[in-house]
Amino acid sequence: MARNQETKHRLVTTFQRRIVNPLTKRLPGQVLLETTGRTSGLPRQTPVGGRRIGDTFWLVSEFGLKSHYVRNIRADPKVRVRIRGRWYDGTAHLLPEDDAHARLRTLPLFNSTAVRAAGTQLLTVRVDLA
């Protein structure tokens, strides 16, 4: 099972990194999460799906602690989120105790379906917006 998950992770992330992300980053309505690269110190932007509720932005990472943006958050939780073309500063929190499957039911359907289908280690991320 672990080998299948590793293969799935490698295939999905390669497809996202080379095809999906470069295209969706350019869409004006796409939500972007900007982290600081843990090695380079440079800003890294990742298209994400999620929902803003008040002063909080919720998302679910499909590969949990293996996701590069999650690893960047662990190194530096200060992030920015672009929602509807506007940037917000925030602090990200990884919530392994949260029920990620239940959380997905509260987030946009299209993205939640893709995360469920592609994900192997779901992890809830809460961003407290400034």
CATH no. for residue 120? 2.30.110.10
pLDDT tens track for 100-111: 999 999 999 988
Structure-token pair, residue 105: 């039911």
Domains in the chain, number = 1
Q: Which residue has the tokens 């991320």?
A: 125
Structural domain boundaries, residue 10: 2-129
β-bridge partners, 58: 51, 126
Task: Give 64's DSSP letter.
Answer: G
Contact 44, 35 (CB under 8 A): yes
Give the model's pLDDT for residue 43: 98
CA distance 98 to 82: 24
Residue 93: pLDDT over 80 = yes
> Do the bridges between strand 56-61 and strand 78-83 make them parallel or antiparallel, or are there none, so unpaired?
unpaired
β-bridge partners, 37: none
CA distance 48 to 29: 11
CA distance 32 to 25: 7
Rounded to 10 degrees, the C-alpha dihedral 110/114/116/119 comes to: -150
pLDDT tens track for 63-92: 999 999 999 999 999 999 999 999 999 999
Q: What is the pTM of this model?
A: 0.84
CA distance 87 to 79: 10
Element (H, E) at 29: none
